[in-house]
Amino acid sequence: MYQGFWPHEFHDERLGISLGHFNQSNLLLTCTYILPMSSEQNSGLFAPIEPYRHGLLPEEDGHAVYFEECGNPEGIPVIFLHGGPGSGCSPRHRQFFDPQKCRAILFDQRGCGRSTFENPLFMNETAYLIHDMERLRKLLNIEKWLVVGGSWGGGLALAYACQHPEVFSGAILRNTFLCRHSDLQWFFHDTKQLMPDAWNKLVEHVPVNFRSDICRYVCEKVLGSDKQSALSLALAWSDWESALMQRTSVSLTAKPLGEQDTDALIKKYRIQSHYLRHLCFFPVDGILPCLNNLKHIGIDLLQGRLDWICRPESSWDIHQQIAGSRLHWVDHAGHGLFEVPMVNSMMSTINARLMALQTK
């Protein structure tokens, strides 16, 4: 759900910035990234790499979806699904994939990152994201690919597998978000017991008579027409999420945001709100009952034991539902993708899956 809630387009010294523009043919001309990365964040990753191909899918429904290919054009196809909803891919995501072995495909979901749009929420549902992935797979002439995703990207991968299991050569899912009522209750209410001071800063923006359903109130305000109210709630939401991510009290709002950053923040959380208020457009009974027929897909589940955003129980429930799935508990790791224990687990799991696919 929340991996990727750290929007790479923001001008924040901790998050970095992403700039680019498109020509009339919708091909990316320039893209400059300034991403502060400590040696700890770099631990275990492959060296930075540039795409050998990038562009936009033909426009549908007012959306033109950005994609890029990295690594070896003759390598094993891998698609990376970013988190959010409402986030986007960053250059660091490329570094999980061996450039000699992988043909890595990354794309920004509708309304996100470098994808272009007329209205970011129009025709923006899980089914349309799956449709875009299939359009991309066919455009790139790929029969099967290894699907890698985390948080919301993990939930999206499961929904994709339920619709198109035949196109999976395997899946690696990290800290998966299932968007059940209990998951939203956990994030907006129950985690108060972990960080009551940070939670109190969130609910300062929620009237007392609306605190029985914080998610509903926040989503409605962020989606509303009052830009200042939307910004206030988006900033509070961002701080709360970051506190849970880092398991310490933090604030992204210590510095004033420029107009560009303000618009990007509101847009991201409007997409998030759009999905959450519809439970990510999953079936009425949730995604778990749909997973029984996925046992033939080799699925690895990675779960940080200290994840305060996507509960470890979620990966356990998926594991119980999919016969033959492998659950890897990652000690000393929370929700963040770039925490060193999680980086190490991701790298070793991806490498093991690639070796297995190479021997087939």
- Same domain flag for 173 and 225: no
Is 2 domain-assigned?
Answer: no
Domain containing residue 111: CATH number: 3.40.50.1820
- Same domain flag for 211 and 224: yes
- The confidence band for 43, taking pLDDT boundaries of 50, 70 and 90, is low
- Same domain flag for 67 and 29: yes
Is 11 domain-assigned?
Answer: no
- Same domain flag for 134 and 263: no
**pLDDT reported for residue 258:** 86
Domain boundary among 235, 263, 280: 280
**pLDDT reported for residue 260:** 87
- Same domain flag for 353 and 276: no
Q: Among all chains, which residue has been given the structure tokens 């701080």?
A: 239
In the predicted structure, residue 38 carries a pLDDT above the cut 60: no
Domain of residue 352 covers 17-178+284-358
Is 5 domain-assigned?
Answer: no
**pLDDT reported for residue 252:** 54
Domain boundary among 229, 253, 280: 280
CA distance 17 to 12: 7
- Same domain flag for 251 and 291: no
How many domains, the chain?
2
- The confidence band for 259, taking pLDDT boundaries of 50, 70 and 90, is confident
Is 3 domain-assigned?
Answer: no
Domain boundary among 237, 262, 280: 280
Is 7 domain-assigned?
Answer: no
Is 1 domain-assigned?
Answer: no
Contact present, 116 and 26 (Cβ < 8 Å): yes
Contact present, 125 and 110 (Cβ < 8 Å): no
The full DSSP string for 26-83 is: --EEEEEEE----HHHHTTPPPP---SEEEEPPPBTTEE-EEEEEE-TTSEEEEEE--
pTM of the model: 0.88
In the predicted structure, residue 27 carries a pLDDT above the cut 50: no
Strand 145-150 and strand 116-117: the pairing is unpaired
- Same domain flag for 22 and 139: yes
Is 196 domain-assigned?
Answer: yes
- Same domain flag for 232 and 290: no
- Where in the sequence numbering do the catalytic residues fall? 151, 307, 335
- Same domain flag for 200 and 290: no
In the predicted structure, residue 65 carries a pLDDT above the cut 60: yes
Is 6 domain-assigned?
Answer: no
